[in-house]
Structure 1
Amino acid sequence: CCGLVLTDKFIENEADKAKSFVESYKKAGAALDTETAKQTAGKYFKQSSDVLDISLQWISFDDLDISEETYTLLTDKVKKYGLSDNPPTYEEFV
């Protein structure tokens, strides 16, 4: 799992830039094909081709919005695995 995080300060002080950045980020994700994703991941993560193939079977970049339902699933896992006892609410995070 990964996420794009912008600070409240940046969003408040640079609203137009923040909006443009997020829109561009989502467009790039929608345009990304599996082979390009694999090449890029291989460059930065230094994993074998087999590991990248397996990972990219369940990783998708075409919808980079996080729904409240998906966020709840994530926070349940965060609690289950002891990463945080009190993760932020969906409203606080998004």
Structure 2
Amino acid sequence: EIAGGSREESARILQAVLSGSGTGTEAGEEEGGEEGGEEGARRAVVLLNAAAAIFAADEAGSLEEGFEVAREVLEEGRAAAKLKEFVEFSR
């Protein structure tokens, strides 16, 4: 289960996932018992949603290919850069 929270908490989590710095939880907070914990689950949700969007936009030939594109964008920091651009534009 992936729990939501306040807008501020959700924004912090999104920034943390996109920047690769983790979940955005405070130091000392529980991460979950299974491998990857909440961090892995949150990252997986972001990647799966992005993969579906990439595939639906015909930018990938399969969901698997869309997932790889999304993973590369996330790992290269391009997703975080786009979020930063969007935030600056919307101010």
Give TM-score, length-normalised by structure 1: 0.32
The structure having more radius of gyration, on CA atoms, is 1
TM-score relative to the length of structure 2: 0.33
